Structure 1
Amino acid sequence: MESLLEREHELAAVNDLLERQGAVLIVQGGAGIGKSALLDAACRRAAGLGREVVRARGSELEAPFAFGVVRQLFERRLAGAAVREREALLTGPAAAAQPLLLGEPDEQSASDTSFAVLHGLYWLVANLADLRPLVITVDDAHWADEASLRWLAYLAARLEGLALALLVACRPSAAARTDPSLETLLAEARVVVRPALLSEGAVGTLVSAALGGDASNELCEGVWAASGGNPLYVVELLRAAAYQNRPLPDLDPAALLAGGRDGVARLVLARVRALGQSALRLGQALAVLGDECELRHAATIAGVGMADAARLAAGLVRIEVLAGDDPPCFLHPIVRDAIEASLSSDEREAAHRSAARLLYADGASPGEVAVHLVGLRPAGDSWVLGRLREAARAAMRSGAPGAAADLLRRALSEPPAYERRVEILRETARAEASTGREIACVHLEEALSASTDPRERAAIALEVAEAYAALFRWVDAFDVIERALVELGDADGALAARLEGELVVCGLHDARRASRVGAVLERLSSRVLTGSPAEALAVARGMAMVLGGRPAQEAAAPLEEALSRADARAENWDTRAALLWSLVAAERFDAVETALEPMLAEVHRSGSARGLVATYSTLGLLKLRVGALPEADAGARIALRVLQEGDFAPGLAFAATVLAEVAVEAGELEEAQALLALLPQDGWPPGVGTVLIPAARGRLRLAQSRWAEALADFQMCAAMFSPEVWGMEMRDVGYLHARAGAAQALLLLGDREQARATAQAELADVRTFGAPRALGIALRVAGLAQGGERGLELLAESVAILGESPALLERAHSLAALGAALRRAGRRASAREPLAEALDLAARCGARPLATRAREDLRATGARPRRPLRTGIEALTTSELRVARLAAAGRTNREIAHELYVTLKTVEGHLSRAYTKLAVEGRPQLAQVLEGEKSRVPTL
């Protein structure tokens, strides 16, 4: 690899990265230290190795331009690709990146597509790396836009297994703006190299080379002392001597470089001024427009003709201010900064205004126009306001709601005319809500205060409520709607129905407002409703009946009616999620499975983050309830990833509790503990989401033999779920099974009498509810608590009831409990059949602790179970089993990765371990091994 002075360690690290790939290298250092030179050397080395290289550079000017760095990396590459290659690169999830990079927005896409775009860009890179090993370099990342940095951090965490090397250069955080994504990049880096200042010897080598021979020690020491060993400062000093036609020994290095960067700026400006005032004006225009601008635009701003501009640009290249003139590009950001700093604030302002209008007239993208407007002094300019709003809409379509919110906040400061202010406040809040920012509610409340029209205020109130609901602040959502309904009165019946529909759903999510829902439900029930109000009413009715423990068939009726009318594209994903979860609680598993298929297709097409969370968290819960643990883990894990990438922390409970319960059933107790640690440990208000936390924690503590703590958790559930807290009929029969958990804990603590009473109370309520899975669980726990012959009867009834349900894991639990009870009663021969079936089902569901208990009990009857735990299907983790099943079904590794939102390396790892544990060598044998379990696996 080429030689750079005193950069042997850094070049070796670069070379190692290019050989290994699948990793990140960060070059961190101050301005002028040689970061760009190292990246240039890396690119030349990569090209020599036959790698494809894509490059980008952050700039202060373009920092507001959403995905500006990403566009630099891939726009030209895609635009220049042949049609077939482009289609191949944008296949699968990568299609979500197409509107961003090819300027083909999908007007049907959702407003919250940021996760889909991040994921799509990752797969675009994976597809590129499949064609040819890829090297991505990003210089001056400390100036990169937020959306691009977020994607780079997302990519960096998923590089393993890709033929890709990522090199990023940035300044130390103390010397530049800090960004959480940049900090994540630093944490993900395999190596961080920090080039040191050059030694006196290295500076002497540069000076001697410039003089064409030996330089005096005194001169070399003077240059070194003045430059501080900064390579750029040394080079600028040498250029000053060359362009001033003065011998270097005659110069005073300390005087020329006084002030460090200020000294460099003086040297640069002196060279430019030597070319004349027109050269300076052109350089200033180029500095305003930024690298790779159109020279004709710079000529217009500078007030020179095109022929003169070409001549002057060539002169700027000759004096090493520009690195090139086609397109124009400054030699270094410090050089550009020096030229721009020569403008007065008024001149700079006028130049940026001119640039924005020129670019707009030339058809530039809204984002490219807006970068020249965000730094202007607010002046109430309607044209500026319009361009900022256009850029914000473009940023939203490209999956960068954070950038859109920044642009709209700048628009608000312009300021807009009063009649436009409410509109822009609403647009700002929508963008902020898509990022999980609570400030969204503040802006909507401001819009609500600014509006005087009752209908407009009601419509804004609905948006405020939806923003609060997106943050799971159900009480605030309820209160806003309640006030809006009072104000609206009879002015707009259709709008009032929408508000009331949202009101009842919000009220049922949080116990602090649930008592007010009944009257609204009664009022709505007398009306003929359509659309979203009808769906919300049906959901609220069914949800209230499920929470109240009414018969499952009765509770499911309005829910199934709502589902039959529901379009795959939900108007409100919070309402849709409540519908689906209520149907799962009512054990309408087939209906939910059928409904999810088009909904999943829709959210994949639209890229809606809220839709992904609603559908995949429901899929996780559904599969957990029927005992398909690998599928449950896969679905809920996708929801969790989307929530974490989108900073929607309040919604984690719905996904994390499902994952924790899957981990408990699979025997992965440390994983369950880690998942529950993501959630608040106490102090939460009672609600349908928060009550899941102590329930899941109680089941984990049962598995950990922490029985007293488990009992306390289940008692907390019961207290949070009580009618006294909710102010309405509440009965936990198909949602939490907290009383069943409490009875198990009591039994293990030796309090059989209290366990029996608790279990019998649950059983009585669940018999009214009537759903087979819930009834099977209640019968099993009651049988265990009862003991004796009556206990055996209850356990046998549980097994029989669960035979009517697809909930095979619960059937396995009941079979194991029945077999163990028969063995303890001395009926070893009778115990073998239920224990053998329990072992078989538990192994196929992925429930390893249950399989272990069933095997031990089966051995105690004198039987010989066929398979040890360390090999075979039951030895697979939930993730390994899920991947193995997809592979056996004919999916390629890439298709599996697409479906599960994981990397190819993750799929390969799971599949390799599955092959080892199952003692197979490939997919054909894998399919044969798994074939025998298909008929009994709970796949619905």
Structure 2
Amino acid sequence: MGDERTTASGPSSTLVGRTGELAALTGHAESAIAGRSGLVLLTGPAGIGKTSLLRAFLGSDVCRKMTMLHGTCGEVASGTGYGGVRALFGALGLTDGTAGESALLRGSAARALPALTPDPGHDEPYAAAAYPVLHGLYWLAANLMVQGPLALVLDDVHWCDERSLRWIDFLLRRADHLPLLVVLAQRTEAEPTAPAALADIVAQPRTAVLRLDPLTDTDVGEMARLVFPTPVAPSFAERAAAVCGGNPLTLARLLRELRAKGVPPDEHGIREIAEVGQHVVALSVRALFDHRPGWVRDVATAIAVLGDEDAGHIGALAGVPAARVEEAVALLRDAEVMAPDRPDLAHDVVRSAVLETAGAAALAVLRAKAALLLSDIGRPAEEVANQVLLVPGTPEPWMRVVLREAASRAEHRGAPEATARYLYRVLEAEPDSVPVRVQLARALAEINPLEAVRLLEHALSLTSDVRAKAPIAVQYGMTCLPVQRSRSAVRVLTEVLDALEAGTGPEPDPQDAELLTLVRSALLITGSDEKATIDAVRERFARMPEPPGDTPAQRQILAVMTLHSALGGGSAESTVRRARHILSSSGVALDNWSLLLSSVSLTLADETDGALEALDRSMRLSQESAAVWSYVLALSSRALVLHGLGAMPDALADAQTSLEIIGEERWGANMTMPQTALATVLIDRGEPERAEELLARVTRPNIEGFAMEYHSYLMARARARWALGDGDTALRLLLDCGSSLAEAGLANPVFVPWWAEAACICAAEKRPDRARDAVDHGAELARRWNTPRALGLAALARGVITPGRSGVELLTEAVDHLSASPARAEYVRAELLLGGALLEAGDPRAAREHLRMAADLAQSCGALALARDARRRLVAAGGRMREITASPVDLLTGTERTVAGLAARGAGNREIAESLFVTVRTVETHLTSVYRKLGVSQRTELGSVLHTPSVPDPRAPAWVSAARGRP
């Protein structure tokens, strides 16, 4: 077609009018190289020059300083799970059989493999969860950035699948100060495949939008001068710009057609411009086909359908011999219908024009034929299914087989959106298919749980056999949890369980017994979530024999039953026995539910060693599987246990770390444990304002309906109000908490000891009678539970509202009980209150002994508010003590302490980042702050500076004697 000058789409024309945009892209790349991450969204209509600009950018000098990963999304593959990711990372060859040897896949990055593998198999027993794959891809990118700055350039992002976009969003939210640049090119007139995911990315604060405007008249004149050998009249350029809308692709085609016709670029040629008009691409394609043999059109259409394929496959689809395919490709390339540098059409605008010439009916037949061809040559099921998705009408039986297989593959790579896309087409042909509805609901459980619930309800209505219905009911119950549909879940599971028990009889076979256990476990878990349902399940399972715990399901149900018994104020001894049995190593794998629930039961029974061990096991299990939700729940639960033990710095570290982790997650707003745990610690550290501000940001819907977390949240709010001097509001919140606990049937005295807190408030405000009924209630519960902490709290509550020597005796009893318990924080408060009571009773000498004990212990615990209160009373009693000040270690934030502790134990920055689900840069920032605050210069010095006494064994209260100075 002539030399470079005479080809308007040639290299010398690609950057006409785009030098400013190229400079902007280069500037963002330089910022990324300097460690300031960024996102550039390049937008404009088809043909405006996005791809040409990207190619020029990729070839620039600045990109040679970066690892460049460049991919293009295609319309046919727009719904494939992680298709955009594979387009970016495919060139790295991480799935060619030597992936296990690649340094890029070390550590957590290995979890990226389901997304990278073109055809994931079914070797794994379960489908990949979405979060671990996202986490793995993040670490793959992080590994690349260890080698140098990274640029991810993705063209035609409007066709990008949702999973890939969710990962880009995931990456960018963790990219502060990373040498990363993400460039996305989007066609403005095309509806994105995943509009919500793309909108989330664009909404990020680091986003810069570059809109490619139409070429100006001057730019058009410059392009025309590259085509025509004679001078170009300004009026000619103006008219061409107006007709083409300043679109470079359309303009290049127009100028080429005009020159081929011999039209001069002056006033005489202006009228010819309008004849060709804005449809020049389609007209030129039709004209080409009209003047060529029919097999040229057939080959072009086959290429438009299949894309980059070899000549044999193109020929098979077009019904043309391979030799003719090569000939047709040469003709098409000469006519600029084919791209000059790859075996595909020149542009999607050209592709649309070629497909338009085929007609809708013929194109549908061709796509079905293409799907069969791809299947016959062994292409991955998802690739075949993508062609099937474009065939209109109800899928044929063979197509439905392909779609099901593609859905299973997508599920195994952790791509729920793609799974759903394939299965919805199957459902069009099989609306009453229970297996399809169940699989579709499983895929939607995380991304659209309400729709998943609807699908499962229909599946249940279509299933009559109770054994087939039982696993569907279990899935339904667990899917109802995140959408707060516990009542529906309990109703369905109860009906199924009743029918299953009736059908299996008193001695079910092993398979039926396990099925019964699964349904019972699901009923217990779903029924325990909300106050409205907890009574019903508690009554039912109070009559059920204790399962032996020989299977994971039996362990899970035993864990829930044990917690119910403990929360109901049953036997502490029985609680400990059952919880230890659940946690015993007998070859039965434990899930996070069993570990977390057992830890709560043991904590209530004063067995905090076992509780901490269970939480540590849960956290290790969560880290291994990248189950960040479970990890955060275990970490914030451990913070509350450590707070009760008086290990305030460690509790602060866990609580703040858990809060920092959920700050990076979109589901973080549905959690309240991290906020409650951190607020609880902050109050005892003397920061009630921060605590109240934190609790005010809790936005979980219908939080008052939940059986567990609501009461801890209320208690924290009440304690914050009391610390701020608002006793009336604090007391009202505590009384609300008591009423809510009674409504839920939760009668454990130490679960949320609102009654003891209310007694302290009423006593301090000289209104002891207001708390008497609450204290009597709590004391009776404590007598039945009969643990040192429960008995100590009962004595403390009765002591503060009892005047004179009787009150002192009760508080002395509280000190004795609590000193023998793991409740170190409560013990410190008992010492403080006893000292105050002795002072009021006229015994300052005895008062000083207890107040000094309280001040010393509180300071060693990190409970600075209690320590300062104890010192103030000690001075009032005639004692002397230096001011309570924070140590350098106390200046560390919670997350800084966590990071410093891990570093002191020898963990590297990457290991710390992976274990805490944060970035390496975040770890580096925290360590820099730690070094500054502690006045150290290297990791080896951290161990000695951070060293503090370990948390004492609650069964051996020698720490109390040591603190008192006795042997």
Pick the aligned partner of 2:759 from 743, 750, 767: 743
Alpha-carbon distance, 1:82 to partner: 10
- The amino acid of 1:300's aligned partner reads A
- Helix, strand or coil: the match of 1:322? coil
Report if the CA contact (8 A) 1:322-1:331 is conserved. yes
- Helix, strand or coil: the match of 2:429? coil
Superposed, 1:559-598 pairs within 5 Å as: 559-564=579-584, 569-570=589-590, 577-598=596-617
Report if the CA contact (8 A) 2:848-2:874 is conserved. no
Which stretch shifts more, 227-236 or 393-402?
Answer: 227-236
Q: Which residue of 1 aligns with 2:891?
A: 875
Pick the aligned partner of 1:351 from 343, 366, 377: 366
- The amino acid of 2:53's aligned partner reads L
Separation (CA, whole Å) in 2 of partners of 1:64 and 1:895: 35
Q: Which residue of 2 aligns with 1:895?
A: 911
Report if the CA contact (8 A) 1:24-1:167 is conserved. yes
- CA offsets 1:276-301 (integer angstroms, 9 cap, x no match): 432322222222224x4444322221
Separation (CA, whole Å) in 2 of partners of 1:610 and 1:106: 26
Pick the aligned partner of 2:70 from 15, 40, 55: 55
Alpha-carbon distance, 1:48 to partner: 4.8
The answer to whether structure 1 residue 98 and structure 2 residue 113 are counterparts is yes
- Are the structure 2 counterparts of residues 911 and 117 from structure 1 closer, same or farther at C-alpha, using a change threshold of 3 Å? same
Q: Which residue of 1 aligns with 2:235?
A: 218
Pick the aligned partner of 2:489 from 477, 495, 516: 477
Separation (CA, whole Å) in 1 of partners of 2:873 and 2:332: 86
- Helix, strand or coil: the match of 2:102? helix
Alpha-carbon distance, 1:519 to partner: 5.1
Alpha-carbon distance, 1:384 to partner: 1.4
Separation (CA, whole Å) in 1 of partners of 2:425 and 2:660: 31
Q: Which residue of 2 aligns with 1:541?
A: 561
Report if the CA contact (8 A) 2:654-2:894 is conserved. no
Report if the CA contact (8 A) 1:257-1:264 is conserved. no
Pick the aligned partner of 1:688 from 687, 697, 708: 708
Separation (CA, whole Å) in 1 of partners of 2:889 and 2:294: 79
- Are the structure 2 counterparts of residues 48 and 457 from structure 1 closer, same or farther at C-alpha, using a change threshold of 3 Å? closer
Separation (CA, whole Å) in 2 of partners of 1:645 and 1:173: 32
- Are the structure 2 counterparts of residues 841 and 357 from structure 1 closer, same or farther at C-alpha, using a change threshold of 3 Å? farther
Separation (CA, whole Å) in 2 of partners of 1:591 and 1:93: 29
Query: How much identity, in percent, do the aligned residues show?
Result: 29
- CA offsets 1:141-172 (integer angstroms, 9 cap, x no match): 22210000100111111112322211122245
Q: Which residue of 2 aligns with 1:915?
A: 931
- Helix, strand or coil: the match of 1:170? strand
- Are the structure 2 counterparts of residues 687 and 866 from structure 1 closer, same or farther at C-alpha, using a change threshold of 3 Å? closer
With the length of structure 2 as denominator, give the TM-score of the two structures. 0.86
Separation (CA, whole Å) in 2 of partners of 1:558 and 1:759: 30
- Are the structure 2 counterparts of residues 220 and 749 from structure 1 closer, same or farther at C-alpha, using a change threshold of 3 Å? farther
Alpha-carbon distance, 1:96 to partner: 0.9
The answer to whether structure 1 residue 929 and structure 2 residue 945 are counterparts is yes
Q: Which residue of 1 aligns with 2:680?
A: 661
The answer to whether structure 1 residue 716 and structure 2 residue 732 are counterparts is no
- Are the structure 2 counterparts of residues 891 and 211 from structure 1 closer, same or farther at C-alpha, using a change threshold of 3 Å? same
Superposed, 1:167-186 pairs within 5 Å as: 167-172=183-188, 176=192, 179-186=195-202
Alpha-carbon distance, 1:480 to partner: 0.2
Alpha-carbon distance, 1:620 to partner: 4.9
Separation (CA, whole Å) in 2 of partners of 1:859 and 1:289: 86
Superposed, 1:187-198 pairs within 5 Å as: 187-188=203-204, 189-198=206-215
Q: Which residue of 1 aligns with 2:56?
A: 41
Alpha-carbon distance, 1:559 to partner: 3.0
Report if the CA contact (8 A) 1:756-1:786 is conserved. no
Report if the CA contact (8 A) 1:203-1:224 is conserved. yes
Which stretch shifts more, 63-72 or 431-440?
Answer: 431-440
| Larger Rg computed on CA atoms | 2
Separation (CA, whole Å) in 2 of partners of 1:820 and 1:209: 94
- CA offsets 1:502-543 (integer angstroms, 9 cap, x no match): 334433433333343355325421887853563355234322
Superposed, 1:338-737 pairs within 5 Å as: 338-379=353-394, 381-415=396-430, 421-435=433-447, 437-469=449-481, 471-492=483-504, 493=508, 494=513, 495-517=515-537, 520-525=540-545, 530-531=550-551, 534-564=554-584, 569-570=589-590, 577-607=596-626, 612=631, 615-616=634-635, 618-628=637-647, 652-665=671-684, 667=687, 669-670=689-690, 673-674=693-694, 677-680=697-700, 684-685=704-705, 687-722=707-742, 725-726=743-744, 730-737=746-753
Alpha-carbon distance, 1:134 to partner: 1.2
Q: Which residue of 1 aligns with 2:155?
A: 139
- The amino acid of 1:341's aligned partner reads E
Separation (CA, whole Å) in 2 of partners of 1:239 and 1:857: 94
- Helix, strand or coil: the match of 1:373? helix
- CA offsets 1:659-678 (integer angstroms, 9 cap, x no match): 44345455375476346534
Alpha-carbon distance, 1:305 to partner: 2.0
- CA offsets 1:589-627 (integer angstroms, 9 cap, x no match): 322333345544444444556755665555455445445
Separation (CA, whole Å) in 1 of partners of 2:230 and 2:838: 98
Q: Which residue of 1 aligns with 2:94?
A: 79
How many residues are treated as equivalent by the alignment?
922
- Helix, strand or coil: the match of 1:921? coil
- CA offsets 1:57-85 (integer angstroms, 9 cap, x no match): 22322121000000111133143899589
Alpha-carbon distance, 1:790 to partner: 5.3
- CA offsets 1:526-564 (integer angstroms, 9 cap, x no match): 887853563355234322322222242233333332333
- CA offsets 1:239-270 (integer angstroms, 9 cap, x no match): 33355565455364753564x4x444333444
Separation (CA, whole Å) in 2 of partners of 1:204 and 1:433: 56
Report if the CA contact (8 A) 1:69-1:148 is conserved. yes
The answer to whether structure 1 residue 28 and structure 2 residue 39 are counterparts is no
Q: Which residue of 2 aligns with 1:299?
A: 315
Separation (CA, whole Å) in 2 of partners of 1:497 and 1:81: 43
- Are the structure 2 counterparts of residues 483 and 720 from structure 1 closer, same or farther at C-alpha, using a change threshold of 3 Å? same
- Helix, strand or coil: the match of 2:388? coil
The answer to whether structure 1 residue 230 and structure 2 residue 230 are counterparts is no
Segments of 5+ residues of structure 1 without an aligned counterpart are none
Report if the CA contact (8 A) 1:659-1:672 is conserved. no
Report if the CA contact (8 A) 1:740-1:778 is conserved. yes
- Helix, strand or coil: the match of 1:241? helix
Separation (CA, whole Å) in 2 of partners of 1:78 and 1:796: 72
Please tell me the root mean square deviation across aligned C-alpha atoms, in Å: 3.7
Segments of 5+ residues of structure 2 without an aligned counterpart are 1-11, 957-967
- CA offsets 1:836-894 (integer angstroms, 9 cap, x no match): 42353333xxx56556656766777775648844x611111111111111111111111
Separation (CA, whole Å) in 2 of partners of 1:687 and 1:488: 28
Separation (CA, whole Å) in 2 of partners of 1:881 and 1:909: 13
The answer to whether structure 1 residue 88 and structure 2 residue 88 are counterparts is no
- Helix, strand or coil: the match of 1:79? coil
Separation (CA, whole Å) in 2 of partners of 1:187 and 1:802: 53
- The amino acid of 1:156's aligned partner reads L
Report if the CA contact (8 A) 2:220-2:246 is conserved. yes
- The amino acid of 1:197's aligned partner reads P
Separation (CA, whole Å) in 2 of partners of 1:276 and 1:440: 52
- The amino acid of 1:457's aligned partner reads K
With the length of structure 1 as denominator, give the TM-score of the two structures. 0.88
- CA offsets 1:416-457 (integer angstroms, 9 cap, x no match): 7x6xx1111111111111335111111111111112223212
- Helix, strand or coil: the match of 1:363? coil
Separation (CA, whole Å) in 2 of partners of 1:937 and 1:87: 46
- Are the structure 2 counterparts of residues 220 and 875 from structure 1 closer, same or farther at C-alpha, using a change threshold of 3 Å? same
